[in-house]
Structure 1
Amino acid sequence: MSFGETGNSLDLDFNALSNPHNGSALDLDQFSEERPTRQLLKVTPGPGADEDYERLAAIFRPVFAQIAAGAKDRDRNRILPFEQVGLLNRERFGALRLPVADGGHGARLSDVFRLLIELSEADSHIGQLWRAHIAFVEDVLRLEDAELRAKWVARIAAGQIIGNAYTEKGGNALGSLNTKVSQVDGRWVVNGEKYYCTGTIFADWTTVAVAHPELPGRQIALVSTQHSGVKILDDWDGFGQGLTGTGSTVFQQVPVDSFMPEDANDPEAAIFQLVLMAVQAGIGRAALNDMRASVQARTRSFSTGTGVPVHREPQVLQLVGEVSAEIFAADAVVMGAVLEVESALADPYLNAEERFAVCELAANRAQTIVQPLVISATSKLFDGLGASSTRSSCNMDRHWRNARTIATHNPAIYKARIVGDYEINGVQPQRLSVTGDLSSPHQGFGL
């Protein structure tokens, strides 16, 4: 539809107006302030949405809107989002990936991540707390043990959530674990303490990385969070992502429900990392939303400006454009990496080692690019709004704090080197196994 067609507020011949031999110029004041803008930006990046995705989005977007309404206040007042997790669970967000025949929504991996970006735009804490659950579901779908798969599929379909207890706070040597399983009266039990237990405070079950007396390396035990021997603490004191339940969990004689089979080429780590990238993309969107609304509403200006309203100030508009471009790029990179992983997981011609490498490299490349894009965008937010945007009551800083916190994970600083080492030397990405203390400068990685 051209601008000259009937139904628009202006009947302008843009070809004539752009003719250099035409003595008149287009007066921008002719444009009506009330003229609505047609929104041409897609809600989600990547290939166009199809009916399957729109079906899923129609279920969850009303919930996302409810979640977004209180996100700023929950962050400022440190209110854990139990109610909001419940709203998502009512619609079985955790069963997205399960086949419809198994009681799930039948979503593709890429559908899950598009929805996760939208959820993280509403509240980045809630997006992150599903991290372990999303990765666990992928592991369950790949299980060859039919009985074990059926048990966990049924639990996930019923709305049960799985948390994470992999990392120890300190005192364990690199490649070893102080959290152990042992047999008591013929049953395996877990004893130990974990930290960075994202999502576990909201979960029904948690995966626990343990040392096993009869098996080498790290083993993954699943235990109920409802057992009396489990103590979950909300003691995460980072300056960002404070509502994710990323605190301590203590296990005292807790019975093991299941052990997950160990797989040296499990792509779980890539899924874990891509969840964080999706959360970053959502943070960027939320920051852009706040920037857009604040610039549109702003009436105060500066004598050092150009004398026009802020929403027409050229430098402010340029800044908003830069932020929009950075967020567009972050979205596209995240979804590009997810589609690469989705393709690798379904490719029958890749062996397990190749599949692991493809997934790890996709996640590492994405992390290398997405982190600086989102940190830049959430910092520029303040440049466009001035000192008043730093007030605690605005809580605009939550976007930067949350993005900066996520950008430290697993640690991001190593990712570009890993990719470069593969590109130049063909060195396979290593599995992130057990974090711990070095006993010597040249200690190997062990597990």
Structure 2
Amino acid sequence: MSFGDLAGDFNALSDPSVAGNAAELDELPVELPTRQLLKITPGSGADEQYERLADIFRPVFAQIAAGSSERDRQRILPFEQVGLLNRERFGALRLSIAEGGHGARLSDVFRLLIELAEADSHVAQLWRAHIAFVENVVRLEDQVLRSKWTTRISAGQIVGNAYTEEGGNALGVLNTKVTEQDSRWLVNGRKFYCTGTIFADWTTVAVAHPEIPGRQIAVVSTQHSGVKILDDWDGFGQQLTGTGSTEFHNVPVDTFMPEDPTDPEAAIFQLVLMAVQAGIGRAALNDLRSSVQARTRSFSTGTGVPVHREPQVLQLVGEVSAEVFAADSVVMGAVLEVESAMADANLNSEERFAVCELAANRAQTIVQPLVIGATSKLFDGLGASATRNSCNMDRHWRNARTIATHNPAIYKARIVGDYEINGVQPQRLSVTGTVSGTPQFSGS
């Protein structure tokens, strides 16, 4: 039966002017495909090219979604799920077809990422560094270096991240260093928040170079004996992303990535998190929808109708649906802004960077409270039973709340406001660390 036939049957069953008497919801012959009435991902550009890509990956996303709640509850790292995506060359989406990729636009990648995050937010986030790295690769002017990395990426190799140090370094200064020995550059140091590295073949490492000022990005193999990757992330959310420690002991550098003043990496990093947030919102809405549809118990303080007819519950579901739709739309609007800026030859490097950063900061300012609110409202529509550990409904809020702490989110609106009022350009990321002269309070 086609959706058009089904829609016609639904009208006939539910419209008294057509069928005489409206059927009760429980009497409908099949579950109605409510989401097919809207685009899966809103916004312009969700066209035939995107649908071609989505047809490849949606069956994989469905497999990943099937066990996502249990993996979250049991803390099972998703190695198998990464392998399923790798089999379809998810990591090579942005590479041209001639280079062994899918020829996807940046907006295609983010639409797919939202759908993947709906299936499992952990699996979506662990690709964060890889997506940003590939974006740098497709912009490389050095064709030899580009070919080296497109060959690796198209073969299914994944790149992780080791930028941040947990402590002990001064603001703007890295303790992780490269030193030259026997004509080779070696990395030594320890990093934390190394999202995705435990699943990766390579990792980018932010290092101090003795001959070049500022932060440099070295790429090293995670398979080298001097690399030790620890699954020691103990946050209450996003526990399966490999966001733990990585140690480097005389690890040879494979590549130093060239500096690019138009590099959109910081914005890409943030927008990946926003895409994950949007996917979490969708997953929460899915659980809310199916739970309300299945619920038979009601409260004596209600209006005496089944829960799926309860006006206040329906209003709450509508609010959550609106918040999730808005989050999707804002994320994709920001991604399209970045995509446009990167192709605009009329922008200089500073203007291009500012456009990308402002788009990401605006999105972060509005998307995170929307999704946190939606994942909290979930419980208002379902009652105390939804808080049971066996339901694991709290994973949506825990994961959204954890992501919302990144980089940190509270500074983003101020940065946008400073630009709007005073024309102050967003600053490029430096190195997180301890501010000199910071007072040490008792008990801190």
TM-score, normalised via structure 2 length: 0.94
Question: What is the rounded CA distance, in whole Å, between the counterparts of 1:376 and 1:6 in structure 2?
Answer: 32
Structure 2 counterpart of 1:416, from 406, 413, 417: 413
Q: Do the aligned partners of 1:5 and 1:11 also contact (CA within 8 Å) in 2?
A: no
When residues 378 and 182 of structure 1 are mapped into structure 2, their CA distance, relative to the original with a 3 A threshold, is same
1:67 lines up with 2:64 in the alignment: yes
Match in the other structure for 1:436: 433
Q: Do the aligned partners of 1:266 and 1:356 also contact (CA within 8 Å) in 2?
A: yes
- Note the aligned Cα RMSD (angstroms): 2.1
When residues 98 and 311 of structure 1 are mapped into structure 2, their CA distance, relative to the original with a 3 A threshold, is same
Question: What is the rounded CA distance, in whole Å, between the counterparts of 2:241 and 2:407 in structure 1?
Answer: 17
Structure 2 counterpart of 1:134, from 131, 136, 149: 131
Deviation at 1:283, TM superposition (A): 0.2
Deviation at 1:33, TM superposition (A): 3.6
Deviation at 1:4, TM superposition (A): 9.4
Deviation at 1:107, TM superposition (A): 0.3
When residues 71 and 229 of structure 1 are mapped into structure 2, their CA distance, relative to the original with a 3 A threshold, is same
1:337 lines up with 2:334 in the alignment: yes
When residues 7 and 382 of structure 1 are mapped into structure 2, their CA distance, relative to the original with a 3 A threshold, is closer
Structure 2 counterpart of 1:103, from 100, 106, 109: 100
Deviation at 1:387, TM superposition (A): 0.3
- The letter of the residue matching 2:313 is V
Match in the other structure for 1:271: 268
Deviates most, 85-94 or 255-264: 255-264
1:8 lines up with 2:15 in the alignment: no
Structure 1 counterpart of 2:28, from 27, 34, 40: 34
- The letter of the residue matching 1:172 is N
Q: Do the aligned partners of 1:164 and 1:206 also contact (CA within 8 Å) in 2?
A: yes
Q: How many residues are matched?
A: 432
Q: Do the aligned partners of 1:264 and 1:431 also contact (CA within 8 Å) in 2?
A: no
Structure 2 counterpart SS, 1:149: helix
Match in the other structure for 2:53: 56
Structure 1 counterpart of 2:167, from 165, 170, 189: 170
Structure 1 counterpart SS, 2:381: helix
Q: After superposition, where does 1:305-344 map in structure 2 within 5 Å? A: 305-344=302-341
- The letter of the residue matching 1:346 is A
Deviation at 1:356, TM superposition (A): 0.2
Match in the other structure for 2:243: 246
Deviates most, 232-241 or 347-356: 347-356
Deviation at 1:48, TM superposition (A): 5.7
Match in the other structure for 1:382: 379
When residues 10 and 137 of structure 1 are mapped into structure 2, their CA distance, relative to the original with a 3 A threshold, is closer
Deviation at 1:441, TM superposition (A): 5.9
- The letter of the residue matching 2:13 is S
Q: Do the aligned partners of 2:361 and 2:413 also contact (CA within 8 Å) in 1?
A: yes
1:179 lines up with 2:183 in the alignment: no
Question: What is the rounded CA distance, in whole Å, between the counterparts of 2:244 and 2:160 in structure 1?
Answer: 12
Match in the other structure for 1:280: 277
Question: What is the rounded CA distance, in whole Å, between the counterparts of 1:246 and 1:29 in structure 2?
Answer: 51
Question: What is the rounded CA distance, in whole Å, between the counterparts of 2:334 and 2:373 in structure 1?
Answer: 21
Question: What is the rounded CA distance, in whole Å, between the counterparts of 1:126 and 1:406 in structure 2?
Answer: 14
Question: What is the rounded CA distance, in whole Å, between the counterparts of 1:79 and 1:300 in structure 2?
Answer: 33
Deviation at 1:440, TM superposition (A): 2.9
Q: Do the aligned partners of 2:16 and 2:22 also contact (CA within 8 Å) in 1?
A: no
Q: Do the aligned partners of 1:375 and 1:403 also contact (CA within 8 Å) in 2?
A: yes
Q: Do the aligned partners of 2:13 and 2:22 also contact (CA within 8 Å) in 1?
A: no
Q: Which runs of 5+ in 2 are unaligned?
A: 440-444
Question: What is the rounded CA distance, in whole Å, between the counterparts of 1:355 and 1:119 in structure 2?
Answer: 29
Structure 2 counterpart of 1:153, from 136, 150, 154: 150
Match in the other structure for 1:20: none
Structure 2 counterpart of 1:80, from 77, 81, 90: 77
- Post-superposition Cα deviations, 1:134-156, rounded to whole Å, max 9, x if no partner, equal 00000011111111111011110
- Post-superposition Cα deviations, 1:81-116, rounded to whole Å, max 9, x if no partner, equal 000000000000000000001110000000000000
Q: Which runs of 5+ in 1 are unaligned?
A: 15-25, 443-447
Deviation at 1:11, TM superposition (A): 6.5
Q: Which has the larger radius of gyration?
A: 1
Deviation at 1:432, TM superposition (A): 1.5
Deviation at 1:35, TM superposition (A): 6.4
Match in the other structure for 2:216: 219
Q: Do the aligned partners of 1:4 and 1:10 also contact (CA within 8 Å) in 2?
A: no
Question: What is the rounded CA distance, in whole Å, between the counterparts of 1:59 and 1:100 in structure 2?
Answer: 15
Match in the other structure for 2:231: 234
- The letter of the residue matching 1:285 is R
When residues 297 and 189 of structure 1 are mapped into structure 2, their CA distance, relative to the original with a 3 A threshold, is same
1:396 lines up with 2:393 in the alignment: yes
Deviation at 1:330, TM superposition (A): 0.2
Question: What is the rounded CA distance, in whole Å, between the counterparts of 1:30 and 1:413 in structure 2?
Answer: 47
Structure 1 counterpart SS, 2:13: coil
- The letter of the residue matching 1:171 is G
Question: What is the rounded CA distance, in whole Å, between the counterparts of 1:241 and 1:62 in structure 2?
Answer: 23
Q: Do the aligned partners of 2:91 and 2:131 also contact (CA within 8 Å) in 1?
A: yes
Match in the other structure for 1:445: none
Q: Do the aligned partners of 2:14 and 2:21 also contact (CA within 8 Å) in 1?
A: no
Question: What is the rounded CA distance, in whole Å, between the counterparts of 1:11 and 1:5 in structure 2?
Answer: 10
Deviation at 1:8, TM superposition (A): 2.4
- Post-superposition Cα deviations, 1:212-260, rounded to whole Å, max 9, x if no partner, equal 0000000000000000000000000000000000000000000000000
Deviation at 1:51, TM superposition (A): 1.5
Structure 2 counterpart of 1:255, from 252, 256, 264: 252
Q: After superposition, where does 1:198-213 map in structure 2 within 5 Å? A: 198-213=195-210
- Post-superposition Cα deviations, 1:45-89, rounded to whole Å, max 9, x if no partner, equal 112632211111011000000000000000000000000000000
- The letter of the residue matching 2:341 is A
Deviation at 1:42, TM superposition (A): 1.4
Deviation at 1:30, TM superposition (A): 7.3
Structure 1 counterpart of 2:423, from 414, 426, 438: 426
Question: What is the rounded CA distance, in whole Å, between the counterparts of 2:318 and 2:289 in structure 1?
Answer: 10
Q: Do the aligned partners of 2:229 and 2:246 also contact (CA within 8 Å) in 1?
A: yes
